[in-house]
Amino acid sequence: MNTIKTTCPYCGVGCGIEATVEDRSAHRVSIKGDSNHPANFGKLCSKGATLGDTVSLENRLLYPSIHGQRVNWDSALNHVAERFNAIIAQHGPEAVAFYVSGQLLTEDYYVANKLMKGFIGTANIDTNSRLCMSSAVVGYKRAFGADTVPCNYEDLELAELILLVGSNAAWCHPIAFQRIRKAKENNPNLKIVVIDPRATASCDIADLHLPVKPGMDGLLFNGILTYLQQNSRIDRTYVDTHTDGFELALSEAMTTAGSIEQVAAGCGLTTEAVSTLFDWFASTEKTVTVYSQGINQSSSGSDKCNAIINCHLATGRIGKPGMGPFSFTGQPNAMGGREVGGLANTLAAHMDLENPEHVDRVGRFWGSANIADKQGLKAVAMFDAIAAGQIKAVWIMATNPVVSMPDADKVKRALQHCELVVVSDCIANTDTSQLAHVLLPATGWSEKDGTVTNLERRISRQRPLFPASGEAKHDWWIISQVGQRMGFKDAFNYQSSADVFREHAALSAFENDAEHQQRDFNLSAFAELDGPSYNALQPVQWPVTNQQTAGTARMFADGQYFTANRKARFIPIIPRPPVNAPDTDYPFTLNTGRLRDQWHTMTRTSLAAKLNAHRPEPFVEIHPADAERLGLAARSLAQVQSLWGSMLARVELNSGQQMGSLFVPMHWTAQLSSHGRMGALVNPVVDPQSGQPESKQTPVKIKAWPAQWYATILSRRPLQITGAEYQVSVRGDRYFRYELASTERGKDWRAWSRNLLAAVEHREDDHCWLEYSDQQAGHYRTAYLPDHELQACLLIGPDCELPEPGWLGSLFGKKELSRAERLSLLSGQPPKGEADIGRIVCSCFNVGEKTIRHAVQAQQIQSVAGISACLSAGSGCGSCVAELKEFLPKPS
Ligand SMILES: Nc1nc2c(c(=O)[nH]1)N[C@H]1C(S)=C(S)[C@@H](COP(=O)(O)OP(=O)(O)OC[C@H]3O[C@@H](n4cnc5c(=O)[nH]c(N)nc54)[C@H](O)[C@@H]3O)O[C@H]1N2
Ligand SMILES: Nc1nc2c(c(=O)[nH]1)N[C@H]1C(S)=C(S)[C@@H](COP(=O)(O)OP(=O)(O)OC[C@H]3O[C@@H](n4cnc5c(=O)[nH]c(N)nc54)[C@H](O)[C@@H]3O)O[C@H]1N2
Ligand code: SF4
Ligand SMILES: [Mo]
């Protein structure tokens, strides 16, 4: 057996993995955490732990195609190169664009950026990181003169106060969160504050939760700065020695924030909560402020980042153990993308397009006289330009903009009318690939070979477990081939990912010394790395230089920044609310974000039945009082609508939601749901500095959707469903699940269900079918069991009160159903004495909510440890621990 060390391809925590290939041809691999990797020391969350379930050939894109016709690589690459060249010849380089992703490896990303900015000669290359951390980049660059993340995971463990601002790390950065949880267990003095409009799983370890009014964090941090000044907590020596611009930033903060009462009122918080936060911040030297999409995805995201950084500079709490402003990036290689200059407004190796010296330097290094010297179009503007016909060719790599962009219906229309759409993906059917003229199959995680940088600047290797599937090729190879065929032969003559990495490292070191105004990003130690050393590369934090070969754990220890005078800059902040406030037509604020067990547009995580069990369907969370006022029942379907688009989702009541706010997960696509693609609703307004969209605060309205019937279908084989407006499909363990509903009246259910199954070959004999029908009440249930083995069951009713399919699903694991099981089948309830496990909470051990509730009650369990001891739940990856707490008796 072959054990390979690699890195998880999901979140920015960047956990190390030990993968043991059990069967190469069957793509069978067992996954465990790498106990030596400094990001996770052996731990993995639910997504990382189930990677083995996502590496099959199911739904893989395996061959290149043009207009739906399979072609060989030569034809596909020539076609792309010729069409790009023809459009450039006719309309100029500004008529073409790349839209890339923080899920490319650094090597892929480097080559894409080099081709567009260095040789095609325009900066029209932008990335999904625009939607993710472009505001954080602006924040760091404005303050430090470079996009430098100062902190590391150890700082989380050394801190005495951690603010989680707009970060649901419990679900989105689970292993980093578990390190915080552990640190808190080890150090009772460590306080955790969660600043988030809704109560999230991260509140589980919080000493204080501030349910801030959506979008008002800038005011809160201006309030902190004001309080620090008023209570003589400013570190004057640090401010005078290492910073510029304090007075102006302070006076702006004082003018806009006012008293604690005024801050509390503006932020929708109690005075008590705000003064506790201010007091803790002022009195705790070792403070880390973690911030993520609740800050970045805002029309004033850049300013919010600087409002946070201002507070750290004012107290000198940066560059020292246990403190600092810590932006948590999301994607596995968002950081690598920043390093290669993948954003339309940056240049390679942390250099700037607007700096002629930098442009000249990169041009000389690449040997190109045609390098872009001004910013390209940022994501939203780029798709607008496609819609307007100014951009005529776009190449989309490793991202799914038809789902994830704001105003996603407009993005879809733009691509429908674009002259040339090229899509590189490892998955065949995505909402974006449906609109491609040319499809290029990329290798997937288990086949890729290269590097990623995690959120603490740590570079780790991704190593291949299997050879490429079908005709899939590495992204860097595909781009290089197109580059060569466009006429740039020498510049793209790479033979391996090591070749690319070496060049990337060499560029970072090129003229990077005191004489040339030193830059933060420097991999001089790797500028001559040979193949074997690249293969053996150990996780290391940049800068990694010839002087400092072990890398750099923490930045700014010496108080020297990357501005011209080496001082950090305060930025004066005038807090702004979201651009579009709720009004009488659209009275709710729509918040969007992530779930524990899904990754973005679900192209990969939806392949793992275990991950689908946690939250199988798109939903909208609403405060129970709002739901009652609007007549929205739990589990019923509601229509959520904005000025831009609409969606349907199950109503979930949650008192952790603010009144006037709704939350929907960002994950569902048109591949998996008829009406769950939330991007269609999202306001495309952007931050003027960063171009990042305001994805968390779209004004919407919500109303009941008048469904006449609901249905749940479980089938051993996938079905082609027709005749239901609302549809969601879910991959289960050994079965496929469909949730359906319609506003049309019921039909001849028997004919309809037999017709559905007819497509997947079945025996007509009546004795294979169980059936229950109550026409008057609108109930119909049927099951198809040739030879007593369950093949499908359909439960149809007039309302949403259908049984949760937990127990039904388990029947697909049985060769033959017992008489008792057949008798209970149509009730959807297990026979007496057998427990229904209910919705899965712990995906590692497949423990459902009913089991947990029952055990807690029967055995009077008082702690999560008690649940784990009894059911194992929570003792695997630990991602469900916060949820397990909800089953414990509430302290009276
Ligand atoms: N399971 C899972 N993990 C992931 C991902 C995934 O798809 N699934 N994606 C990865 C990626 S790319 C990213 S960028 C990260 C994102 O990680 P996070 O930023 O932690 O995730 P989100 O759920 O997008 O948003 C975080 C929180 O911001 C809150 N919020 C909304 N509006 C406001 C506001 O006005 N103020 C404040 N303070 N908070 C607000 C939301 O309620 C939400 O709980 O996750 C990464 N990790
Ligand atoms: N409303 C709202 N919208 C959001 C967000 C939000 O919180 N709310 N979050 C935003 C953020 S932070 C992000 S990061 C984006 C994410 O949004 P997307 O980037 O659109 O989402 P993914 O599903 O990760 O898309 C990645 C695609 O690349 C493919 N892929 C995976 N690996 C490879 C590879 O190695 N090579 C190639 N060529 N393809 C590959 C996958 O199959 C998938 O189709 O969404 C943004 N959109
Ligand atoms: S926390 Fe989970 S998703 Fe993130 S890198 Fe680690 S195992 Fe992967
Ligand atoms: Mo992201």
Q: What is the pLDDT of residues 346-366, one digit of tens each?
A: 999 999 999 999 999 999 999
Whether residue 306 sits in one domain with residue 337: no
**Domain containing residue 595: CATH number:** 2.40.40.20
Whether residue 138 sits in one domain with residue 120: no
**Domain containing residue 113: CATH number:** 3.40.50.740
> Ligand 2 centroid to 464 CA: how many Å?
21
Determine the pLDDT at residue 403: 98
Query: Does residue 509 sit within a domain?
Result: no
Determine the pLDDT at residue 129: 97
Whether residue 125 sits in one domain with residue 37: no
Query: Does residue 633 sit within a domain?
Result: yes
Ranges 520-524, 526-530, 772-776, 835-839: which has the least confidence:
835-839
Which pLDDT tens digit goes with each residue over 89-104?
A: 999 999 999 999 999 9
Whether residue 236 sits in one domain with residue 153: yes
For the Cβ of 657 lying below 6 angstroms from any atom of ligand 2, the answer is no
Whether residue 726 sits in one domain with residue 820: yes
Exposed e or buried b for every residue in 693-703, given b needs 16+ CB within 10 A? bbbbbbbbbbe
Which pLDDT tens digit goes with each residue over 780-806?
A: 999 999 888 999 999 999 988 877 777
Peptide bond into 543 cis (omega under 30): yes
Determine the pLDDT at residue 826: 86
First-last CA distance in the chain: 54
Cα separation values, 873 from 301, 643, 883, Å:
38, 43, 11
Specify the number of domains making up the chain: 6
Percent of the chain with pLDDT over 90: 87
Nearest residue to 883 (alpha-carbon basis) of 504, 569, 613: 613
For the Cβ of 430 lying below 6 angstroms from any atom of ligand 2, the answer is yes
**Domain range for residue 766?**
709-827
Q: What is the DSSP letter of 514?
A: G
Which pLDDT tens digit goes with each residue over 7-23?
A: 999 999 999 999 999 99
Q: Among residues 265, 293, 327, which one ends one of the domains?
A: 327
Query: Does residue 21 sit within a domain?
Result: yes
Determine the pLDDT at residue 832: 77
**Domain containing residue 269: CATH number:** 3.40.228.10
Whether residue 695 sits in one domain with residue 627: yes
Which bound ligand lies closest to the C-alpha atom of 403? 2
Which pLDDT tens digit goes with each residue over 384-424?
A: 999 999 999 999 999 999 999 999 999 999 999 999 999 99
Whether residue 294 sits in one domain with residue 149: yes
Whether residue 366 sits in one domain with residue 347: yes
Whether residue 808 sits in one domain with residue 849: no
Instruction: Please give the number of the atom of ligand 2 that sits closest to the Cα of 682.
Output: 1
Supply 878's token pair. Answer: 């630990």
Q: Among residues 281, 297, 327, which one ends one of the domains?
A: 327
Nearest residue to 650 (alpha-carbon basis) of 672, 618, 682: 618
State yes or no: pLDDT of 767 exceeds 90: no
Mean pLDDT for all residues in the chain: 95
State yes or no: pLDDT of 1 exceeds 70: no
Closest residue by Cα to atom 2, ligand 3, is 45
Q: In which region does residue 92 sit, left (phi positive, over 0), alpha (psi from -120 to 50) or beta (all else)? A: left
State yes or no: pLDDT of 551 exceeds 80: yes
Whether residue 275 sits in one domain with residue 292: yes
Which pLDDT tens digit goes with each residue over 528-541?
A: 999 999 999 999 99
Determine the pLDDT at residue 485: 98
* Mean pLDDT computed over 845-855: 88
* Amino acid type, 201: A
Query: Does residue 318 sit within a domain?
Result: yes
State yes or no: pLDDT of 204 exceeds 70: yes
State yes or no: pLDDT of 886 exceeds 90: no
State yes or no: pLDDT of 892 exceeds 70: no
Query: Does residue 813 sit within a domain?
Result: yes
Q: Among residues 805, 827, 849, which one ends one of the domains?
A: 827
* Mean pLDDT computed over 462-491: 97
Closest residue by Cα to atom 12, ligand 1, is 330
Assess contact for 697 and 578: CB atoms under 8 A: yes
* Mean pLDDT computed over 474-480: 98
In this prediction, residue 47 has a pLDDT band, given cuts at 50, 70 and 90, of very high
Query: Does residue 167 sit within a domain?
Result: yes
User: Is this prediction's pTM over 0.85?
Assistant: yes
Supply 766's token pair. Answer: 């009546």
Assess contact for 329 and 136: CB atoms under 8 A: yes
Query: Does residue 538 sit within a domain?
Result: no
Ligand 3, residues at Cβ distance < 6 Å: 8, 10-11, 13-15, 40, 44-45, 47-48, 174-175
For the Cβ of 449 lying below 6 angstroms from any atom of ligand 2, the answer is no
Whether residue 698 sits in one domain with residue 713: no
C-alpha to C-alpha distance for 835 and 806, rounded to whole angstroms = 10
Q: Work out whether the CA dihedral 866, 871, 872, 877 comes out positive or negative.
A: negative
Cα separation values, 661 from 176, 456, 629, 705, Å:
28, 33, 14, 19
In this prediction, residue 459 has a pLDDT band, given cuts at 50, 70 and 90, of very high
Query: Does residue 547 sit within a domain?
Result: no
* Mean pLDDT computed over 557-586: 97
Nearest residue to 392 (alpha-carbon basis) of 415, 425, 413: 415
> Ligand 3 centroid to 541 CA: how many Å?
18
Whether residue 471 sits in one domain with residue 351: yes
